[in-house]
Amino acid sequence: MTSPVSSIFETIRPAPADYLTRLAASDAGRDYKGRMLDALELRAGLAVLDAGCGPGADLAALAEAVAPGGTVIGVDRDQEMLDAAAPRIAARPGVELLRGDVHALPLDDATVDRARTDRVLQWVDDPARALAEFHRVLRPGGRLVMGEPDWDTLAVDHPDPALSRAYTRHITERVIRNATIGRQLARLATDAGFRVPEVIPATQVFRDVRAADRTFGFERTTRRAVEAGYLTEDQAAAWLHHLAHGPFLASATLYVVVTEA
């Protein structure tokens, strides 16, 4: 698809580690990650698992919160992510990086006091199996905090609401594997044997189209929606033109789910 407003939007997909790093540094990222950190109720001496740690954007804050005497274990299945995380924790004692999958964590039973997972379960093959693994590695009474979006809540203002609905439907049906995982987490965690004392909705509101584009990749995703038949070329052009030139507003809700083993 050729767009007359391509200069407004990113056209090249950023590397995964770069995308996660800048998401963590965004206003929306800092907001929900701060809520997750508070919900973990960390203190000195605890052992914490960051499951799907990515490039390690959260490892330093975890390490500071459990110092002195605490340990932080970052696990990711992607060696490139672990390589990106390594410089962040090089000077921090008590932080370890392990390669592994959330479906089969490389940890013994009942070895950590706290665990977190952040925007990981939306991509995994079997969220229930991952939750069973978190329950296995947590000590009795340990706390797991998860942060996951519900992509059905993505709402982008446009004079033609049908175009916005088609865009969101494409994301939920074709782009994200577990697109509504955010709303499912409390139920899945209960089924896995957790108690769920709190669910915290974190609704992210965007008024600046460029800032939103750094999260959503509007033009790249719209191009895929055209290829998949969710939008026509003309509809896509009208959609992007308004996003670029009209008053902009978009929102989406991420759920922070607090659980106890």
pLDDT at residue 8, as a whole number: 87
pLDDT at residue 27, as a whole number: 86
pLDDT along the chain (261 residues), means of 10: 64 88 88 96 98 96 96 97 94 94 98 98 98 98 98 97 98 98 98 98 95 94 97 97 95 98 96
Which residue carries 């139920």 as its tokens?
187
The tokens describing 193, both together, are: 């044997």
**Residue 215 exposed, middle or buried by CB count within 10 Å (0-12, 13-18, 19+):** middle
pLDDT at residue 23, as a whole number: 87
Question: Which tens digits make up the pLDDT trace of 191-235?
Answer: 999 999 999 999 999 999 999 999 999 999 999 999 999 999 999
Q: What pTM, to 2 d.p., does this model score?
A: 0.94
